[in-house]
Amino acid sequence: MHITIGKSGEGFTQEKAAPLLNKLVFNKIKQALGGRVRIMLSSAAPLPRHVEEFLTVTSCSTLLQGYGLTESCGGCFTSIGNVYPMIGTVGVPLTTIEARLESVPELGYDALSSVPRLEICLRGKTLFSGYHKRQDLTEEVLIDGRFHTGDIGEWQPDGAMKVIDRKKNIFKLSQGEYVAVESIESKYLQCPLITSIWVYGNSFESFLVAVVVPDRKALEDWAAEHHLTDDYKSLCQNMKARKYILDELTSMGQKQQVCAPSLVHAMLLKFIHLTYKTFLLQL
């Protein structure tokens, strides 16, 4: 890792710079962690790059990020300590695992493309032999002796793997909770106050958000009961209306036994089509 001290391009590697900076600047952070931490491991869900960079520089210890699944009986990728270019990746395969990438044409991930972004497939003696009493699922993911993880990876020039996508619409939140948004959306759609909903989340956040198209009549009836004269478009921007529908969705989610991490915590009300970019900007 290079920490620039003077002109652009100057600086010391982490091995040379860390002892001095740790003593002068970061020793208090070291003591806050107990004073004896030498190595930290992160897995289960991606660690945001800015968090990984901050801890790598300030914790006075080595931070490693890894990747593994239940089916791989633990870790199968891990980054190498103090190798700065591996920040933001899950590192290189462990010695017990053979990894390769395979095309996913339906998602546009092609082995012949200029950037190798494909499905991560694993083979090795530490992998599971199959799902208990579910031969159908076993045959679906174990093909030619390789386990198809469902994760889309991108090989880096240094041989590290970066996980960038999921083959199926299932992902983890930052606390490691798996979320299937299509199932959640179907449960929320049973709420009579809405006509459409799009739930969004990613592995760097701990909660879900949504774009909701409210039922016009239901929203206007609620407005009349509360002596509001706003038109439908204005009601969609009304914070009280937003809270009302969010509370109703939360209640519906609880009735449908949606687990707490899968409940929507924030939303936008829209009566017209909203692009993904606009949604992120307004949220």
Q: Give the model's pLDDT for residue 131.
A: 94
Tell me how far apart the alpha carbons of residues 27 and 36 are, in angstroms, rounded to a whole number.
Answer: 11
Beta bridge partners of 213: 196
Q: Give the model's pLDDT for residue 1.
A: 38
Region for residue 144 given its phi and psi (left: phi exceeds 0; alpha: psi -120 to 50; beta: otherwise): left
Tell me how far apart the alpha carbons of residues 120 and 146 are, in angstroms, rounded to a whole number.
Answer: 10
Of 203, 215, 206, 204, nearest in space to 262 by CA = 206
Tell me how far apart the alpha carbons of residues 248 and 13 are, in angstroms, rounded to a whole number.
Answer: 55
What is the sign, positive or negative, of the torsion defined by CA atoms of 160, 164, 165, 171? Answer: positive
Query: Can you read off the two tokens belonging to residue 57?
Result: 């520089």
> What are the angstrom distances between the C-alpha of 75 and each of 62, 65, 219?
18, 10, 50
The residue type of 260 is: A
Domains, the chain: 2-168 (3.40.50.12780), 171-282 (3.30.300.30)
Q: Give the model's pLDDT for residue 130.
A: 93
Q: What are the average pLDDT values for consecutive 10-residue runs of the chain, which has 283 residues?
A: 40 64 83 89 83 85 90 90 86 92 83 84 92 93 92 90 80 77 83 88 84 90 89 88 91 85 81 43 42
DSSP 194-257: EEEEEEE--TT-SSEEEEEEE-HHHHHHHHHHTT----HHHHTT-HHHHHHHHHHHHHHHHHTT
